[in-house]
Chains A and B, each alone.
Chain A
Amino acid sequence: MNKTTTYNDLLKYAYNESGLTDGDRTQRAIDGDPLIQGEYNELIQVISQLDVTVPPVSEKCIDNILQFARQ
């Protein structure tokens, strides 16, 4: 990792939290440094493991809430 790009920068970039300028700088760092690129790819690989949709809340539960809201 070079002096100007930290792991925090990569985390923010991965979650679209870098501003325009920082995002551009991070993207150039990823493109220009194989070490940073490797680190970023591993980060993306790990967080993509978390992509799953949780079982939905039951309709009964939603109905109870909306019924309470109407009281």
Chain B
Amino acid sequence: MMDDKDLVRLYQQGNQEAITELVHRYKQRIHSTIYFLVKNQELAEDLFQETFIKIISSLRNKAYSEQGKFLPWALRIAHNLVIDHFRKEKLMPLQHDSEEFSVFDVIPANSRNAVDQIIYDEKIATVRNLLERLPYEQREVVILRHYAGLSFKEISKMLDININTALGRMHYAVIKMREMVEKESIRIKE
């Protein structure tokens, strides 16, 4: 598999296949990160598109200098766009502002059967619920580690925090999520 650095170089030399490969290589990780930060499928897709427009513009202008670190760089662009969005809207993500969302809107009906679909809907709702109830700073670290696949070191660099702060936020998030899971299972047992 060709590494990111070579794909960037090839695209800058005019090879379109190279950018196609980069988009497909990272679409899931970047989109998942944005999706769980903004909690809205439509907005996540808009910001995902905007992220790649910026990425492509930067590559064309040779503004990309972080050789071999494409994903952290791309995620920093995505993260800044999310923050800009919240600033523009003058709101930081609320903890319970869940929007009506159905995966039926985005997944072709014939790709899953009804039971699978219900199970999937429940699963994603559970995860969204867990993440939404975390303070933003903790949620951000969980998303960047678990869905974007950045290391704690890369997260600390991206957010300009100490690595122990990143690990500490993850630790508190785990404690909080564990409490939530326990409470939920007690409620179900009752």
CB distance from A34 to the nearest CB of B (A): 18
Considering the complex, give the chain A residue whose CB is closest to the CB of B171: A7
Q: Return chain B residues, CB-CB under 8 Å to A21.
A: none
Secondary structure at the A interface, as helix, strand, loop or mixed, is helix
**Is B158 at the interface (CB under 8 A from chain A)?**
no
CB distance from A25 to the nearest CB of B (A): 17
**Is B67 at the interface (CB under 8 A from chain A)?**
no
B27, B36, B53, B174 interface centre (most CB from chain A within 10 Å): B174
CB distance from A27 to the nearest CB of B (A): 19
**Is B74 at the interface (CB under 8 A from chain A)?**
no
Contact string, A14-55, partner B, CB cutoff 8 A, digits 1/0? 010100000000000000000000000011011101101111
CB distance from B153 to the nearest CB of A (A): 8
B147–A54 CB distance below 8 A: yes
Contact string, B20-46, partner A, CB cutoff 8 A, digits 1/0? 100110011001100110000100010
CB distance from A69 to the nearest CB of B (A): 5
CB distance from A42 to the nearest CB of B (A): 6
Q: Return chain B residues, CB-CB under 8 Å to A49.
A: 126-127, 130, 177, 181
Given A42-B178, A69-B16, does the pair A58, B53 have CB atoms closer than 8 Å? no
**Bound complex: CA A7 to CA B27 (Å):** 32
CB distance from B77 to the nearest CB of A (A): 13
CB distance from A45 to the nearest CB of B (A): 8
**Is A70 at the interface (CB under 8 A from chain B)?**
yes
Beta-carbon contacts under 8 Å, B69-94 to A = none
A55–B106 CB distance below 8 A: yes
Contact string, B146-164, partner A, CB cutoff 8 A, digits 1/0? 1100011100000000001
Q: Which 5 A-B pairs have the closest CB atoms?
A: A54-B32, A55-B106, A8-B167, A65-B52, A69-B19
Chain B residues at the A interface, C-beta cutoff of 8 Å:
11, 16, 19-20, 23-24, 27-28, 31-32, 35-36, 41, 45, 48-49, 52-53, 56, 103, 106-107, 123-124, 126-127, 130-131, 142, 145-147, 151-153, 164, 167-168, 170-171, 174, 177-178, 181
